[in-house]
Amino acid sequence: MGKLFGTDGIRGLANVYPMDSETMMMLGRAAACVFRRSGGRHRILIGKDTRLSGYMLETALASGIVSMGVDVLLVGPMPTPGIAFMTRSMRADAGVVISASHNNYVDNGIKFFGPDGFKLADETESEMERLLGPGHMNELRACPDLIGKAYRIDDAIGRYTVFLKSCIERNTKLDGLKLVIDAANGAAYRVAPLVFSELGAEVIMVGDDPNGTNINEGCGSTHPERMCELVREHNAFCGIAYDGDADRVIFCDENGQVVDGDAMLAALAVDFQERGILGGSSVVATVMSNIGLDIALKERGIGLVRAAVGDRYVLAQMLAMGAKLGGEQSGHMIALDYNTTGDGILTSLLLLAALIRKNYPVSYCRTIFQSFPQLLVNVPVPTKPPIEQLKSVIQCVSECEQELGERGRVLVRYSGTESKLRVMVESETDDTCRQMVDRIVSAVCKDLGVESL
């Protein structure tokens, strides 16, 4: 058995190893073994998005868990951050999310949360994988009178809705705001309209009719075009689009222009700083965030620390430095004073509340910083030797960085999933980006002995 867990749980094609019933039942047994504590009954909470394969995987996981004497709490369709919240709120031993986030419906995935609502440490995932090996759990299954039971939590959406509304000031209302909400035919299709309508907004929904196969299909945060059209058509205050499991969000302003994660992070950082809840003087972004964000925040006395791409790495950096706010350009925002993982609906409420306090439109977010031109080129490579061994590349990158100073940025890294080396340059002009990318790509071709692009 190869390594199952990647940077964000387990992913794969539905009904194909490892996302098949047999593996999921064994994974459920392993999870039950890892999270059992001495004494009393033990409980693991399971939620999912709206994919057709979710029913199959949910049943298999639950079967494996109860066979080890651990109870299962079935939540049904629920955003990933809602599972993190419910796991803590119900004092469960663990939480499981069945979702492949923004992927097509043919994929699915599994993420685990510990009892504290945080995603698992590598060591815990490794222990689960070890238990999946031959013979490790044969003697651990429960005797007949101690088999666990599975039951549904019917009021999970209500509990999560109350929690979300409690995260903004009680006197903050959305009365008179016309909002276009795109739930991506995913996990937020019931929660999102409920939250915003209860706060007084007029909600125009799209992507709220899941059928098991239309999740993320031409809708949601990866396809905001329809949302933007509806904002213009209805003269709405803004549009808000989630991905399949609603842990990320993308806005569009009153003009139908997309507001990405960098702009949202900038607006929230300024708001948190003004309210004295930033938790230090820095926020965390990733290596993909635009250098314009660094410059704008620095001018306001806010530092920006970069982590590798992925919410796991953003969170790890936040915890290491005590930061309260972090995010990705893709719209995945973490506000640690409120929830333990990225939460699209929570981010929406925090941003709307900040704008309402100042009587600002959503387009304000796009004015906080100037987004620098960026050029990214993918170079096919036959091998992936350490970049520090590519002498011509290192020298060329160093020269470019000296020329750019603090008004530009160079990023050279291998793709984690493809045989490609990514070369990215940000600067104040498109011409500079093109010239420097061409120079670095030539150095890559020289060092790796590949033909020029």
**Residue 214 falls inside a structural domain:** yes
Rounded to 5°, angle at Cα 370 from 365 and 373: 125
Q: Are residues 231 and 211 in the same domain?
A: yes
Position 451 scores a pLDDT of: 75
- Please give the Cα distance from 184 to 104 (Å, whole number): 11
Is 89 annotated in the active site?
no
Q: Are residues 23 and 132 in the same domain?
A: yes
Query: Is the alpha carbon torsion for 98, 103, 104, 106 positive or negative?
Result: negative
- Please give the Cα distance from 219 to 233 (Å, whole number): 17
DSSP letter (8 states) at residue 317? H
Position 450 scores a pLDDT of: 82
Secondary structure class of 433 (helix, strand, coil) = helix
Q: Are residues 279 and 176 in the same domain?
A: no
Q: Are residues 149 and 14 in the same domain?
A: yes
Banded pLDDT at 38 (limits 50, 70, 90)? low
Q: In what order do the strands lie in the sheet with 325-327?
A: 303-307, 282-286, 325-327, 333-335
* CATH number of the domain that residue 414 is part of: 3.30.310.50
Torsion from C-alpha of 196, 201, 207, 209, nearest 10 degrees: 80
Question: Domains in the chain: how many in total?
Answer: 4
Q: Are residues 163 and 103 in the same domain?
A: no
DSSP letter (8 states) at residue 281? S
**Residue 354 falls inside a structural domain:** no
Q: Are residues 23 and 129 in the same domain?
A: yes
**pLDDT above 70 coverage of the chain, percent:** 98
Average pLDDT over residues 201-219: 98
Torsion from C-alpha of 255, 260, 266, 271, nearest 10 degrees: 60
Banded pLDDT at 8 (limits 50, 70, 90)? confident
Q: Are residues 144 and 30 in the same domain?
A: yes
* CATH number of the domain that residue 89 is part of: 3.40.120.10
Average pLDDT over residues 274-291: 93
Position 437 scores a pLDDT of: 97
Parent domain of 338: 260-345
Q: Are residues 146 and 216 in the same domain?
A: no
Residues 6+ apart with CB under 8 A from 294: 304
Last residue of a domain, one of 308, 329, 345: 345
Q: Are residues 57 and 91 in the same domain?
A: yes
pLDDT digits (tens, 9 = 90+) for 96-117: 999 999 999 999 999 999 999 9
Q: Are residues 59 and 171 in the same domain?
A: no
Banded pLDDT at 279 (limits 50, 70, 90)? confident
**Residue 5 falls inside a structural domain:** no
pLDDT digits (tens, 9 = 90+) for 104-153: 999 999 999 999 999 999 999 999 999 998 877 877 888 898 899 999 99
Q: Are residues 87 and 137 in the same domain?
A: yes
Q: How does the average pLDDT of the chain come out, rounded?
A: 94
Banded pLDDT at 77 (limits 50, 70, 90)? very high
**Residue 360 falls inside a structural domain:** no
Last residue of a domain, one of 214, 231, 258: 258
**Residue 439 falls inside a structural domain:** yes
Q: How many residues does the chain have?
A: 453
**Residue 144 falls inside a structural domain:** yes
Q: Are residues 134 and 33 in the same domain?
A: yes
Above 50 in pLDDT, residue 1?
A: no
Last residue of a domain, one of 345, 364, 398: 345
CB atoms within 10 A of CB 438: 16
pLDDT digits (tens, 9 = 90+) for 308-328: 988 999 999 999 999 999 999
The phi and psi torsions of 332 (rounded to 5 degrees) equal -90, 105
**Residue 105 falls inside a structural domain:** yes
Closest listed residue to residue 48, CA positions, set 162, 124, 196, 153: 153
The phi and psi torsions of 151 (rounded to 5 degrees) equal -145, 155
Do you find a cis peptide bond into 18, omega within 30 degrees of 0?
yes
Banded pLDDT at 79 (limits 50, 70, 90)? very high
Average pLDDT over residues 265-277: 96
Given the residues 53, 101, 282, 427, select the one marked as catalytic: 101
Above 80 in pLDDT, residue 39?
A: no
Interior/surface letters 128-158, b for 16+ CB within 10 angstroms, e for the rest: bbebbeeeebeeeeeeeeeebebeebeebbe
Residues 6+ apart with CB under 8 A from 190: 77, 157
Tokens 């890559």, located at residue: 444
Above 70 in pLDDT, residue 453?
A: no
**Residue 306 falls inside a structural domain:** yes
